[in-house]
């Protein structure tokens, strides 16, 4: 399949190429059931999960579409490292043509990922809420420190303070998703009230 891509690029560039060099046969012995082997490798890649969706569900992010989108974007960017590795191997082997084509494909993938990030940032700038921003973490930390200071001024002791913060940690486990949902709901109510 990759050769077809290379041949297509040659035709588009009107390049006359030499017949491909005879490649040495692979020394890797593949198992009889290649599908099972492929599935095993994918499962190893996803640290025990059958695929990326199961991995997300296992991490508790299966229902949070924002987290899924970010994970998929990370996966795309990670794949560019694999392309970079293939590009470098090709260049090291003297296959500059292959290296250049892989480099171009990698640039295309990076451009798509960049556009997705740019679109997300633009949407948040216009009217969204970026719960992952450093500013949000600063705000969250500020209010937690004020809660701790309040407990200290009330002289309630460390047991009550510790109980509050451990319970608060449980209650706010999915705070980013809940805050996004509540924020969107508030924006919807504001729009309906303005009509």
- The structural domains of the chain, with segments of one domain joined by +, span 2-13+32-126, 134-190
Choice between 60 and 109, residue whose per-residue pLDDT is larger:
109
Residue 57 vs residues 29, 54, 66, 68, 140: alpha-carbon distances, Å: 34, 5, 13, 9, 26
Residue 121's pLDDT is: 73
Asked if pLDDT for residue 5 goes beyond 50, the answer is yes
Residue 1's pLDDT is: 47
Asked if pLDDT for residue 188 goes beyond 80, the answer is no
Q: What is the pLDDT of residues 114-156, one digit of tens each?
A: 888 887 777 666 566 677 777 777 888 898 899 989 988 998 8
Residue 17's pLDDT is: 55
Residue 87's pLDDT is: 92
> What's the whole-number mean pLDDT along residues 162-179?
87
Q: pTM for the whole thing?
A: 0.46
Residue carrying structure tokens 């998929």: 72
Q: Is 6 in contact with 17 (CB distance < 8 Å)?
A: no
- Rounded Cα distance between 150 and 152, Å, is 5
């Amino acid at each position: 399949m990759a050769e077809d891509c290379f041949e297509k690029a040659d035709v588009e560039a009107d390049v006359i190429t030499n017949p491909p060099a005879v490649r040495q046969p692979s020394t890797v012995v593949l198992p009889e059931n290649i599908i099972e082997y492929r599935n095993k490798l994918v499962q190893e890649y996803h640290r025990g999960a059958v695929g990326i969706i199961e991995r997300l569900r296992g991490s508790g992010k299966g229902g949070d579409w924002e987290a899924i989108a970010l994970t998929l974007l990370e996966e795309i960017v990670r794949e560019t490292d694999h392309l970079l590795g293939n590009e470098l191997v090709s260049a090291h082997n003297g296959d500059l043509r292959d290296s250049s084509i892989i480099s171009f494909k990698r640039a295309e993938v990076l451009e798509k990922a960049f556009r997705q990030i740019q679109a997300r940032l633009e949407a948040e700038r216009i009217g969204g809420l970026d719960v992952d921003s450093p500013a949000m973490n600063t705000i969250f930390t500020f209010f937690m420190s004020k809660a701790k200071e309040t407990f200290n001024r009330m002289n309630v002791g460390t047991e009550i303070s510790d109980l509050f913060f451990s319970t608060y940690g449980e209650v706010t486990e999915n705070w980013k998703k809940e805050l996004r949902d509540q924020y969107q709901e508030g924006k919807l109510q504001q729009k309906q009230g303005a009509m």
